[in-house]
Structure 1
Amino acid sequence: MPRALEIEDLSRFVMVSDPQVSPEGDSIAYVVTRVDDGKDDYRASIWIVDSEDGEAIGVVEDGRCHHPRWSRRGSLLYLSDKGVKGGGVALWICDEAGASRRLIAVFKGGVEQPLWIDDRRIGFLTRVGECDERVRVIDRIPLWFDAVGFIHHLRRQLHIVDAYTGVVRPLTPGEFNVVCHSPSPDGRRVAYAASIDELDPRKMSLKVLDIESGEHRELLRGFYIESLCWIDGQIAFIGNDLHRGYSSHNTLWIIDPDDGEPRNLTGHLDRGCSRRIYYDMRSPYATYPGVIQDGGYLYFTLSEGGRHNLYRMKPDGQPEAVVEGDLSIDEYSASSGVVAYIKVTATSPGELWVWEAGEHRALTSFNEPLLRELKLSTPQRIEFKASDGAAIEGWMLKPIDYEEGRSYPMIMDIHGGPKSKYGYSFMFEHQLYAAKGYVVLYTNPRGSDGYSEEFADIRGRYGTRDYQDLMEAVDHVLKHYDFIDPKRLGVTGLSYGGYMTNWIVTHTSRFRAAISQNGIADWRSFYWTTDIGFYFAPDQIGGTPWSNEEAYRDKSPITYAPNVETPTMFVHSLHDYRCWIDQSIGLYTALKALGKETRLVLFMEGSHVFRSLAKPSIRKERLKQMLKWFDKHFKN
């Protein structure tokens, strides 16, 4: 008989990520990540399988292995911590069966986006720079970056390494950070995007480098670009021209290096192409998907409501669906007409699938045995019209022990961003709440991704229309589902969701308990203490704390601390440089001084997204502390 999900089950799920199709399309390399409770860490290995039936060809398990990439001749490069002493990442190479492994080089500054330029040379990004760590002399901002640490002395540059000799050559020395790159098919050029303005890193320069001559030629300036690739002599990229700031959709563009005029291929769809969907069982070694090409087609994803589906199109054609439905495509690759993708649903973590000649087939089922043991709650989609007429989408989980005639407490979870979204992807945390007897409500209010740019654009309007959408979502479910106890409502959220939790408890007393996670309480201190505050806050709030003091004060929940009646717990991680710990400490201290019921749970390590990337023991303890707080106020 199926049983309820428990916190310890977090260690039993297998995370599948980063599928890479071989040049001939006959093999697929992908990463398998498991929790290692003994070491309180994650183990990552690379599996190489037949693309037809998923039969194993080889496994690479030397240390933590990840990021496999095929050469045109079938050699496989990968990253590992094997052979590394004192920090850094090692770049290795093996044959098509995962054997004959050979160390190429170790890089203290890490390795990102390793790509074969030809059958001998590999291009990659690494951080370069030196600093006396006993005393930091800082002349730049930001001084730190989330999940990285202090970066004021570092620049991320494009390098090339010879796979046979290990000789490394820098390609882009300079006072800027390279964001992404793509070698041309003939291996003679590299297209790359670089942040050239440290006061607004979103504004980038797209350049083409001639590797032999060393000439850098700028094609475009002022765009945000997150991925790119070559197709038929042109360069395709996912990005935007910042016409709505952070609310702008990242769409698919193409540019001819000879005339330099970008063309927006998907702008007419008014939907984004970035992965913004929440999924808390994503591997720490998962990669960020971008535009790729195969057989004259560009492959990319579209964010449509709660879906995140895979499409393709020719540069002069129209988008056509490759994988669509109530699901999320987390990562993908394509070669020789074979498309490998990680498919996630609302009730199943990611598994490896293949699309070929219009047919889909599953190649892995790592989590099927555990899923057969568990009784999960199937999300019910809801939609309602907000008071201004806009359609708002959301989902609700019933408790797994739901019985007619009983009433249950409800937890509303608010996503971050704000330009992120919930949808058809597995959320361990939500299933855990349902297993513990809670109704779970999660919605996509104004500001969310997956809808129009106008829907996403809440710049200057934080705490207004987004707040109304959330309150009206609660009104909607209370009106239509009588099993929800209106006197036992809880609210939580992380990042922007933490901000909105702070805003909610300072503006209404309808919730009996709240948990604010890694959120914002004071926009003024956010501006000058965080990695992105000095350009994110002006975009979202408007101006600066000294040019628009009234807005920064009025949009800060801490301004309204005396209004709080809801018992509120703050959860924060020490190394969160996106929303620094002063945010939670500040509002917690204010509530304590005002005699309110509050608690601070400070995790002594972990970045902004430690919810899904921290050590397993920390992830579990976070869930324990949150359940303890909600149970105290709803069940005791």
Structure 2
Amino acid sequence: MDQLQLTDFLRYRFLAQPKFAPDGQRAAFTVTNCNEEENCYETRLWLWEAGRLRQLTDLGKESRFFWEDNTHLLFPAVRSKAEQKRQEAKEEFTSFYRLDVTGGEATHAFTLPFAAGTLYHVAGPRYLAEGSIDAAWPDYYQMDQAGREAVAKAYQENQDYEVLDEIPFWFNGQNFVNKKRNALFACNIETGEVHRLTEPLFSLDSLAMVGETAYFLGEAYEAKPSEHSSLWVLEGDALRCLNPKLPTLGGQLLAVGGKLLLLGSEGLRHGLNENDYVYTIDTETGCLSLLRAEEENMYSSVGSDCRYGGGEPRQARGEELFHLTTRWGNSHLYRLSPDGSSHPVVTKDGSIDSFAVSPATDTILLVAMFDCKLQELYTYDLASGNLQQVSHFNDACLAGKYVAQPQALRLESCGLEVEGWVLLPKDFDPSKSYPAVLDIHGGPKTVYGPVFYHEMQLWANRGYFVFFCNPMGSDGRGNRFADIRGHYGETDYRNLMDFTDAVLARYPQIDRKRLAVTGGSYGGFMTNWIIGHTDRCACAASQRSISNWLSFYGVSDIGYRFATDQCDGNPFDSPEQLWAHSPLRYAKSAVTPTLFIHSDEDHRCPMAEGMQMYTALVDRGVPARLCYFRGENHELSRSGKPKHRVRRLTEITDWIERYTK
């Protein structure tokens, strides 16, 4: 079989956002590919109907869409020269185009005078729309051309400065967000009337339509958002607060069978990572009633570097709520009944990444990674239970290539059952000796599973054993297993080392002196932790990591909440607690040659975290290298610019081979 190449991912196609038309007879979805020459991604709309697939658009910029009716799609785009000119002038607007899926070209439908997000249909030409605003100019959408030019001039004159007066002041993938808010607008697409409904400092979090009535979560804040949202209802054009302070930490509203549900957790038992309970909301009083005390999550957290775009993890059908859920290393589809009982629907090993349920037939459309293949489209029949692959977008990409099949390995560690997998090297010969890579997932509340992961498959194709597991702190095993607050680097570290020992025992062909370790985010934290606690690795590659919880508290977009929650302490009353769980504290013991990967717009794990650890190693004479990416954020390995993703994987692979080949 041929060898998988580092740049093969540039030919993969990524599927996302399946949505059925209101009559349930057809569904649209997006297909994305890399454009290496332009160093970008191209996304197009496709249609599934009567078992056949058809491409709908070809400009490569159609990344979002909404069904207007049974045969028409609305999608935002910049197509005309006038729109391009407005975009170049950094004017805020969103033009929507209408496409008849039965045939014909897309035509301009309407333009909203703000940066619009999700649209919600109310009735006839009336819509609600989420939109980004700057609280300094909350009525920008009403300004004439002269007013907009004045705002643009003010931005230009102040482009060298950032004034901060609230937290979080930046956010991963968005840069500075000081005084930026997600507002709610009422729009009439026939008359062009637009009205902002929420006050300038209000930020909308979640909205659900029950019939023609909108309910939403959010709050107005100045210096810092609170941990609890308020519940609002839109009655005509008037807003009314139903509940000024919900007991949950945020949450999501869902309309199911004419009822209003809330998915949210109080965080009292397991902190910020606690899985959501399901509540029903009295739409008159705003009071909550517990429907299901759910201990598992209701989304997919199975990792892969072969996705682009998203999709809803939950969808109502009649009185039932269909939802994804992570169970051990797989993501399955379940349904929640009106009585609060939960029932499995599709439980095939692998990852269901997104789905759509037909409102009129027994068909469910799945975007999934099954059988260690890349994403494809599948149909599932609720009546017969038949699961069928209906697309072949990626068959040619892997045809004739070696794809290592994950070999399951479970063991007991610290009184816990730990699940993991091993990929065997290409052309494996039991009589030969091989290097190996331990890959650690992020989160920590995510999982690895038996799915296709390009970087791991690449290393297996280059002659490495690759192994990975889900230590304590991972998802898929309930709240208690995921809760490592105040104990980072303890049981989770021991689980990883015990798993490594088990892999070495099962596969004596692995050369213990040629072992590498890598990981990103929490995996980067743990890589930093490992090199400070053992010298068993020949080299390490720490990506978008945490090295110092004390600094992370003040510079990460989630630091002031996440660091205190996960460390079970704060910099003022218990700084020793944060320092005790910081890898930087143990850097004096590190001797492992280490590569650091960080990005200048990663505000989740800012570059200062990697730089501190890098400096500590170089200062103490340990071989180290830092590759710093401009214009990238925390998602570099998954959705970074194609050429940057090539460089990142080249850096890591070259570093590992330098010390293990």
Given the two structures, how large is their TM-score scaled by the length of structure 1? 0.94
Query: Quick check: 1:60 aligned with 2:57?
Result: yes
Name the CA distance, whole Å, in 2 between partners of 1:601 and 1:107: 41
Q: Which of 372, 392, 395 is the equivalent residue of 2:399?
A: 372
| CA gap 1:409/1:81 in 2 versus in 1, 3 angstroms | farther
Q: What is the RMSD of the two structures over their aligned residues, measured on CA atoms? A: 2.1
| Alpha-carbon contact 2:302-2:446 (below 8 Å) kept | yes
**SS state at 2:604 partner:** coil
Matched AA of 1:192: F
| CA gap 1:215/1:196 in 2 versus in 1, 3 angstroms | closer
Name the CA distance, whole Å, in 1 between partners of 2:463 and 2:239: 63
| CA gap 1:372/1:254 in 2 versus in 1, 3 angstroms | farther
Match of 2:99 in 1: 94
* Superposition deviation, residue 32 in structure 1: 0.8
Q: Which of 72, 77, 80 is the equivalent residue of 1:75?
A: 72
* Superposition deviation, residue 542 in structure 1: 2.4
| CA gap 1:403/1:123 in 2 versus in 1, 3 angstroms | farther
**SS state at 1:66 partner:** coil
Q: Which of 297, 312, 317 is the equivalent residue of 1:272?
A: 297
Match of 1:411 in 2: 437
| CA gap 1:362/1:165 in 2 versus in 1, 3 angstroms | farther
Name the CA distance, whole Å, in 2 between partners of 1:97 and 1:349: 29
Matched AA of 1:329: I
Match of 2:146 in 1: none
* Superposition deviation, residue 100 in structure 1: 5.2
Q: Which runs of structure 2 are paired with 1:596-607 in the superposition (5 Å)?
A: 596-607=622-633
* Superposition deviation, residue 625 in structure 1: 0.6
| CA gap 1:424/1:173 in 2 versus in 1, 3 angstroms | farther
Match of 1:38 in 2: 37
Match of 2:329 in 1: 306
Deviations 1:376-431, CA, capped at 9 Å, x for gaps: 00111111111x31111111111122111112111111111111111133211111
| Alpha-carbon contact 1:69-1:115 (below 8 Å) kept | no
**SS state at 2:64 partner:** strand
Q: Which of 527, 533, 549 is the equivalent residue of 2:575?
A: 549
Name the CA distance, whole Å, in 2 between partners of 1:191 and 1:606: 35
Matched AA of 2:527: T
Name the CA distance, whole Å, in 2 between partners of 1:98 and 1:16: 22
Q: Which runs of structure 2 are paired with 1:387-536 in the superposition (5 Å)?
A: 388-536=414-562
Q: Which of 563, 574, 581 is the equivalent residue of 1:537?
A: 563
Name the CA distance, whole Å, in 1 between partners of 2:289 and 2:398: 45
| Alpha-carbon contact 1:276-1:420 (below 8 Å) kept | yes
Match of 1:149 in 2: 175
Name the CA distance, whole Å, in 2 between partners of 1:263 and 1:280: 39
153-162 or 512-521, larger mean C-alpha shift: 153-162
Identity %: 30
| CA gap 1:363/1:487 in 2 versus in 1, 3 angstroms | same
Name the CA distance, whole Å, in 1 between partners of 2:188 and 2:449: 43
Q: Which runs of structure 2 are paired with 1:226-237 in the superposition (5 Å)?
A: 226-237=251-262
Match of 1:184 in 2: 210
| Alpha-carbon contact 1:239-1:252 (below 8 Å) kept | yes
Match of 1:360 in 2: 387
Match of 1:224 in 2: 249
**SS state at 2:374 partner:** strand
Match of 1:385 in 2: 412
Query: Quick check: 1:120 aligned with 2:125?
Result: yes
| CA gap 1:161/1:340 in 2 versus in 1, 3 angstroms | farther
Query: Quick check: 1:328 aligned with 2:351?
Result: yes
Q: Which runs of structure 2 are paired with 1:605-624 in the superposition (5 Å)?
A: 605-624=631-650
Deviations 1:267-294, CA, capped at 9 Å, x for gaps: 35x21112222121111x323x233211
| CA gap 1:157/1:410 in 2 versus in 1, 3 angstroms | same
* Superposition deviation, residue 73 in structure 1: 4.7
| CA gap 1:409/1:582 in 2 versus in 1, 3 angstroms | same
| Alpha-carbon contact 1:412-1:491 (below 8 Å) kept | yes
| Alpha-carbon contact 1:8-1:620 (below 8 Å) kept | yes
Matched AA of 1:53: G
Matched AA of 2:354: E
| Alpha-carbon contact 1:291-1:299 (below 8 Å) kept | yes
| Alpha-carbon contact 1:23-1:74 (below 8 Å) kept | no
| CA gap 1:118/1:333 in 2 versus in 1, 3 angstroms | farther
Deviations 1:470-500, CA, capped at 9 Å, x for gaps: 1111111112221222111111111111001
| Alpha-carbon contact 2:4-2:458 (below 8 Å) kept | yes
Match of 1:570 in 2: 596
* Superposition deviation, residue 195 in structure 1: 5.2
Match of 2:319 in 1: 296
Q: How many equivalent residue pairs?
A: 626
Name the CA distance, whole Å, in 1 between partners of 2:3 and 2:114: 44
| Alpha-carbon contact 1:377-1:400 (below 8 Å) kept | yes
Matched AA of 2:600: L
Name the CA distance, whole Å, in 2 between partners of 1:273 and 1:634: 41
* Superposition deviation, residue 367 in structure 1: 0.4
**SS state at 1:519 partner:** coil
| Alpha-carbon contact 1:226-1:239 (below 8 Å) kept | yes
**SS state at 2:316 partner:** strand
| Alpha-carbon contact 2:210-2:260 (below 8 Å) kept | no
Matched AA of 1:48: L
**SS state at 1:534 partner:** helix
Match of 2:611 in 1: 585
| CA gap 1:33/1:119 in 2 versus in 1, 3 angstroms | farther
Matched AA of 2:240: E
Question: Runs (4+) of structure 1 moved beyond 6 Å?
Answer: none
| CA gap 1:37/1:4 in 2 versus in 1, 3 angstroms | same
- Runs of 5+ unmatched residues, structure 1: none
Name the CA distance, whole Å, in 2 between partners of 1:61 and 1:292: 29
**SS state at 1:536 partner:** helix
146-155 or 156-165, larger mean C-alpha shift: 156-165
Matched AA of 1:468: R
Given the two structures, how large is their TM-score scaled by the length of structure 2? 0.90
Name the CA distance, whole Å, in 2 between partners of 1:99 and 1:631: 53
70-79 or 437-446, larger mean C-alpha shift: 70-79
| Alpha-carbon contact 1:116-1:122 (below 8 Å) kept | yes
| CA gap 1:237/1:363 in 2 versus in 1, 3 angstroms | farther
Deviations 1:128-182, CA, capped at 9 Å, x for gaps: 0046433222211111100011100201112233233443222222423212212
Matched AA of 2:258: G
Matched AA of 2:580: D
| CA gap 1:317/1:496 in 2 versus in 1, 3 angstroms | closer
| Alpha-carbon contact 2:232-2:239 (below 8 Å) kept | no
Name the CA distance, whole Å, in 1 between partners of 2:244 and 2:257: 17
| Alpha-carbon contact 2:474-2:481 (below 8 Å) kept | yes
* Superposition deviation, residue 330 in structure 1: 0.7
- Runs of 5+ unmatched residues, structure 2: 137-154
Deviations 1:512-568, CA, capped at 9 Å, x for gaps: 100100001111111111111011111011232121111122111111211001111
* Superposition deviation, residue 630 in structure 1: 0.2
Match of 1:344 in 2: 369
| Alpha-carbon contact 1:251-1:267 (below 8 Å) kept | yes
| CA gap 1:238/1:604 in 2 versus in 1, 3 angstroms | same
Matched AA of 2:63: H
